[in-house]
Chains A and B, each alone.
Chain A
Amino acid sequence: MIRLLFKSREAILGAAILVLVAAIASRFPAFVAPSNLANVFNDTAPLIILALGQMVVILTRCIDLSVAANLALTGMAVAMLNTVMPGLPIPFILLVALCLGALMGLVNGLLVWKLDIPPIVVTLGTMTIYRGIIFVISGGEWINAHEMSDTFKAFPRAALFGLPVLSWIAIAVAAGFAVLVGRTPLGRTFFAVGGNPHAAVYTGIDVGRAQCAAYVLSGALAGLTGYLWVARYAVAYVDIAAGFELEVVAACVIGGISIAGGIGSVGGALLGALFLGIVKNALPVIHISPFWQLAISGSAIIIAVAFNATSSRTKGRVILKKAEHAL
């Protein structure tokens, strides 16, 4: 039992996070005050949501580099919708954001599924295309706080049982994914496709369709986060969340999700995102320049991937060698 615990990536990562928090707390006790920890969690919520979406994509041996551009485009679209029609109810805005994000995910998924284009190429391409479309629809203009309606901005900050709605959404998505990945046929399909695509085909799974489904999920979550992001920071412009896709992939890699597909867990993605979130929030507290953050997350990725490779013993495959589709 203890040996099992020692071998589990989640346990090791969880312990690393606890050590990190304890080390910070020993010198800056204010950091571990419940209110501050809640702030850190809330700040990390977008990363958690996106990392969970990215997880299912990586499970199927794909990668989605377009999430940040998807987030920014959806955010801009709903912000513009809000300026034109300020009276729209929040559930409708959420629905629009989810659908728009899912649509962009579907484009990725169809290109991977129907045209067999390597996932990294597809999402590198759509990343620049989605980013460019933001400029085209907004004309490069910013949408500022005073142009958004109050209800639009208030939703992610509204407190519910002491936590903002944004945090609750991250918790709900994590719970939903725990059920989806562990308890539904679709969730097991993701593992089957990533673990052994050939065997998956023989058991009657359409590999391409499963990959497409993963992209739609990831896209829908990126769209949802797009609205939450824009409403929380009360500003929308072309470059919001630029480079965030790498942070999302980093969270997954740190969380022990194998880039070779088929290995990963909701807990891992959650802890990976939390690790990056804690580092990001702790730097100013311990008086280290925020310019260190990029180098730290880069080192964390390298250490995590090296650690995963030595602990799992199964040889990692290059992601470029994609899963073969049944023809």
Chain B
Amino acid sequence: MSLASPDLAGRQLPDRLKTPLQRFLVSWELLLLSVAVAVFVLNSFASPYFLDPWNLSDATFNFTEKAMIAFAMALLIISGEIDLSVASILALSSTAMGFAVQLGADTPVLVLTGLAVGLACGAFNGLLVTGFGLPSIVVTIGTMSLFRGISYIVLGDKAYTGYPSDFAFFGQGYVWWVISFEFVLFALLAAVFAILLHRTNFGRAVYVIGNNPVGALFSGIRVPNVKFALFLLTGLMSGVAAICLTSRLGATRPSIAFGWELEVVTMVVLGGVSILGGSGTIPGVVIAAFVMGMVTFGFGLLNVPGIVMSIFIGLLLIAVIALPRIARRLLARRKV
């Protein structure tokens, strides 16, 4: 029984650290990358339409918006918190933009509205969690109902349409040939978040908080400020995703992006981020986004209904966490 300090029991420091190449060879990212390649190859055999550049370009829309939220969510989960209200923030942000359109707002104002509402929702979550010390999972289950509830109050069973034509660029525009604006934004944000998490003091602080919040506090990290910033960031990214999705659909209903919080969390966990906090990488999340997008797209080409795909996503979520645990247990048994 390992009770008092289960993490330290039996852990030994190695004589020398593994080289970066050795670490990469046993990493989650490589395993995930091989899954991505396998899915890609299988798909191209399964359907003759898969390898068409325009089809592949369309497929990226399956994951770009969710991945934008997933980057921020990854940081939040690494720090030991969670935000289940992201899809509702998206809905409220989209509703606010639709409302602004009715007042005659033009595209720059719409973008600002979307971002501002995202930030405000993130600030509300952050204030409740860090200011009042409430558990984030309950707070965000509450705000998940609240934010989408406000959208329902505003819209009821109606929909906002009539977005200006230049607003359509964010979700439907192409930068070069088949490369969409959304994909470029996705790649750009991936780079920004990778640098933020892996190359800055802020990123290190996120890991430290996730591993040991008390230790982080004693080592001079302003834990509440960092967490508040992460909630703000998640709200902001939900606002960005709201702009892209609203622009792509050209309409806002209160049920927009319903159930996305689940897919975003799945993406993050699939990307190797520990749901208990403290570990995970942005490249992992990027590859996970590709895997999920390719699986969804491939199934779509084979005429598999969306709800059957969701069985697969659910199994994937459980399997990716269960398999390493089973493997570790089997290995440990062999050593004994």
With both beta carbons as reference points, the residue of chain A lying nearest to B80 in the complex is identified as A318
- Give chain A nearest CB distance to B180 CB in angstroms: 28
Q: Which of B81, B135, B138, B143 is the most central at the interface, judged by chain A CB atoms within 10 Å of its CB?
A: B138
Q: Per a CB cutoff under 8 Å, which of B2, B82, B153, B276 touches A327? A: B2
Does B144 make an interface contact (CB < 8 A)?
yes
Chain B residues, CB < 8 A from A299: 142, 146
List residues 129-151 of chain B with CB under 8 A from any CB of chain A. 132-139, 141-150
B134 touches A305 (CB 8 A): yes
Whether B269 pairs with A298 at a CB distance below 8 angstroms is no
Least CB distance from B139 to A in Å reads 7
Binds B, one of A8-16, A117-125, A148-156: A117-125
With a CB–CB cut-off of 8 A, which chain A residues contact B81?
318
Known: A132-B308, A250-B145, A318-B80. A124 touches B317 (CB 8 A): yes
- Binary per-residue interface labels of chain A (293-327) against chain B in the complex, 1 for a CB within 8 Å, 0 otherwise: 11111111110011001100001111111101011
Q: Do A319 and B135 touch (CB < 8 A)?
A: yes
Instruction: Find A124's partner among B138, B152, B266, B305 (CB 8 Å cutoff).
Output: B266
Stretch at the interface among B43-51, B61-69, B320-328: B320-328
Q: Is the CB of B132 within 8 A of A309?
A: yes
Indicate if B277 sits at the interface (CB-CB under 8 A).
yes
Shortest beta-carbon distance from A310 to chain B in Å: 8
A131 within 8 A of B: yes
Interface size class of B (residues with CB under 8 A): 35 or more
Q: Is B178 on the interface with A (CB-CB < 8 A)?
A: no
**Which stretch, A133-141, A162-170, A181-189, touches the partner chain B?**
A133-141
- Asked if B277 and A128 make an inter-chain contact with CB atoms under 8 angstroms apart, the answer reads no
Q: In the bound complex, do residue A294 and residue B152 qualify as a contact, i.e. CB atoms below 8 Å apart?
A: yes
CB distance from B297 to the nearest CB of A (A): 18
Contacting residues, chain A, for B1 (C-beta < 8 A) = 201, 326-327
Contacts A132-B308, A250-B141 given: A322-B276 contact, CB under 8 Å?
A: yes
Which of B137, B153, B254 is in CB contact (< 8 Å) with A120?
Answer: B137
Residue of A nearest to B262 (CB): A124
One of A111, A121, A132, A260 near B269 (C-beta < 8 A): A121
A6 close to chain B: CB less than 8 A = no
Docked complex Cα distance between A292 and B153 (Å): 6
Would A135 and B308 be within 8 Å (CB), given that A120-B137, A124-B262, A302-B146 are in contact? yes
Residues of A contacting B53 with CB < 8 Å? Answer: none
**B117 on the interface (CB 8 Å rule)?**
no
Q: Is the CB of A320 within 8 A of B314?
A: no
Given A302-B128, A305-B134, A305-B142, do A129 and B149 touch, yes or no (CB 8 Å)?
A: no
* A246: interface (CB < 8 Å): yes
A202 vs B150: C-alpha distance in the bound complex, in angstroms?
Answer: 48
Are B307 and A298 in contact, with the CB atoms below 8 A? no
Residues of B contacting A67 in the complex (Cβ-Cβ under 8 angstroms): none
Contact A132 B314 (CB under 8 A): yes
Taking a contact as CB atoms closer than 8 A, the residue among B128, B144, B310 that contacts A128 in the complex is B310
Contact-residue bracket for chain A: 35 or more
| Chain B proximity of A303: nearest CB distance (Å) | 9
A315–B308 alpha-carbon span in the complex (Å): 41
Q: Are B325 and A117 in contact (CB under 8 A)?
A: yes
- Answer whether residue A238 sits at the interface, using C-beta atoms and an 8 A cutoff: yes
Is there an interface contact between B133 and A298, defined as CB atoms closer than 8 Å? no
Cβ contact within 8 Å between A125 and B315: yes
Interface: B31 (CB within 8 A): no
B141 lies within 8 A of A246 (CB): yes
Which chain B positions have C-beta within 8 A of A136? 308, 311
Q: Does B104 sit at the interface, judged by CB under 8 A?
A: no
A33→B311 CA distance, assembly (Å): 46
* A231 contacts partner chain B, Cβ-Cβ < 8 Å: no
User: Are the C-beta atoms of A296 and B149 separated by less than 8 Å?
Assistant: yes
| A131 touching B307 in the complex, CB below 8 Å, given contacts A124-B266, A292-B153 | yes
Given A125-B317, A302-B142, A306-B128: A318 touches B148 (CB 8 Å cut-off)? no
Contacting residues, chain A, for B321 (C-beta < 8 A): 115, 117-118, 121
A138 to B136: give the CA distance in the assembly, Å: 37
Q: Report A211 CB to chain B, min CB distance, Å.
A: 16
Q: Is A49 an interface residue (CB 8 A)?
A: no
Known: A298-B143, A318-B81. Is A305-B138 also a contact (CB below 8 A)?
A: yes
B30 CB → nearest A CB, Å:
22
Q: Which residues of A contact B275 (CB under 8 A)?
A: 118, 120-121, 320
The complex places the Cα of A133 from the Cα of B134 at a distance, in Å, of 36
Type the 1/0 row for A273-297, where 1 means its CB is closer than 8 Å to any CB of B: 0000000000000000101111111
Question: Would B146 and A305 count as touching, CB distance under 8 A?
Answer: no
A19–B184 CA distance with the chains assembled, in angstroms: 55
Contact B153 A124 (CB under 8 A): no
Are A132 and B310 interface neighbours, CB within 8 A?
yes
Q: Is the CB of A125 within 8 A of B134?
A: no
B-contacting residues of A (Cβ < 8 Å)? 63, 111, 115-118, 120-122, 124-129, 131-133, 135-136, 140, 198, 201-202, 238, 246, 249-250, 253, 259-260, 289, 291-302, 305-306, 309-310, 315-322, 324, 326-327
A-B contact pairs, 16 of them (CB 8 A): A115-B321, A115-B326, A120-B275, A124-B314, A259-B135, A259-B138, A289-B156, A294-B145, A298-B142, A301-B142, A302-B146, A305-B139, A315-B133, A318-B137, A320-B82, A320-B276
Given contacts A117-B321, A295-B149, A302-B128, 7 further A-B contacts (CB under 8 A): A121-B275, A127-B314, A253-B142, A259-B135, A298-B142, A320-B137, A320-B276
